[in-house]
A and B are shown apart, each in its own frame.
Chain A
Amino acid sequence: MHSEPDSAGRGRTLRPGRRVDAGVVARWYRRETMKAEASDAALLAGIALGGAGLREAERALCRRYAPRIRLYGLRHLRDEDRARDLVQTVLLAVLQAAREKRVREPEQLARFVLGTCRNAVLRVRELDRRAEPATDEVLVAAAGGEAPRDPVNAAVLLRCLGSLGHRARRVLELSFHEELESGEVATRLALTQGNVRVIRHRALAALRVCLDAPARAGA
């Protein structure tokens, strides 16, 4: 029989015959540590183990991956609501896989999540409809609570764009507002593609700094 510490560090006894990695369990039941620092493998082990710590392990995994999945969704779906739906869809699939111990390489969970994201995005595109919203409280909280929106004030954006040079502003507008590829931007502005990329990343960094500046509050 294995003995595992509870949340207060005291030992308690597991049911006989249950195979548990003592090291994983020891980390797992130090809940405060687990939240921030547990490895993906430890979280997966905690979910597979079930029992009292199941929901906490699932919450920790959702907290960790929700912002990353949302970002992937925004990149590929270009829509905040769809990205949030994707968070729920992917997390549900990952949690189900974890409960059923189908994640073959726990140390490579990011790769598993990436594959799940790709499949989900393909389905969204093929069906051209929203994923069914989940009702699971963990998933809903992860999709909503861990996906901070970062609304940019239109007046501040206008002011910050105005602070850039004309060419930099045009590169940003053509790249991100009109969503042209760098080759097309280069043709429009009589630049090389390499120039466009350099101007673009510098201008975007300058714009970000301006948007974050303290003057924002009183702009």
Chain B
Amino acid sequence: MSCASPLAWETLVDWWAGDLDEAAAAAVEEHVLGCDVCTVVASRVASTAEALRTMVPPVVGAEQLEALARAGVRIMENPIAPGQTCDFHFPRNADLAVHVLGGLVLGAGARVEVTLRSLATGQVFGHVEDAPVDTRRGAVYLACQRDYAQMDHDLVAEVRVGEDPPAQYTILHHF
């Protein structure tokens, strides 16, 4: 395989993101349809972007959960109270587990930060600065996927509402 004038990665990213004008996008598409080399590179852009588009972030909003359920994703909820330590066995008949970190007082417009740490080492797995919340239930939804089995199973989720001290939830996963 060879290509006399390979398309730049930047161009392919712009194309995939929809940032090229019509003529430029058409030129990219005609080139890619006629070129194995650029199809391979464009496929790498595509698979990376698609992984991002379809990912379930660690903290999800109620609307996104509803959309996932409508799409046929089998979701199991696991309510946890602040300060609680929970042994959680990932159910075989679920695609996604959602830890419902409840007991939060969420005023309108409250800024909520979520930090996920390893229970054993304290290493931060993830941090969400402006997390989506369910004000009706007073909860934050922490999405847990079967793929996470390869990560540290035991974690502490800290949820800070405004300037209040963080509420802590300890989850011991069993996959």
If A67-B43, A153-B150 touch, does A200 touch B13 (CB 8 Å cutoff)? yes
Cβ proximity bits A1-36 to B, threshold 8 Å, 1 near / 0 not: 000000000000000000000000000000000000
Distance to closest chain B CB from A26 (angstroms): 23
Contact A114 B52 (CB under 8 A): no
Closest to B124 in A: A162
A47-55, A95-103, A136-144, A169-177: which one contacts chain B? A169-177
Residue from B17, B50, B58 within 8 A of A175 (CB atoms): B17
In the assembly, what is the distance between CA of A189 and CA of B164, in Å? Answer: 26
In the assembly, what is the distance between CA of A98 and CA of B4, in Å? Answer: 27
B32-40, B84-92, B155-163: which one contacts chain A? B32-40
Total residues of chain A contacting the partner, CB 8 A:
43
Contact B33 A197 (CB under 8 A): no
**How many cross-chain pairs have Cβ atoms below 8 Å apart between A and B?**
115
Chief secondary structure at chain B's binding surface: helix
For chain B, give the interface size range. 35 or more
If A71-B43, A111-B30, A152-B47 touch, does A177 touch B147 (CB 8 Å cutoff)? no
Contact B53 A117 (CB under 8 A): no
**Is B108 part of the contact surface with A, judged by Cβ < 8 Å?**
no
* Contacting residues, chain A, for B55 (C-beta < 8 A): 152, 154, 157, 177
Q: Give residues in B with beta carbon < 8 Å to A.
A: 9-10, 13-19, 26, 29-36, 39, 42-53, 55-58, 125-126, 145, 147-151
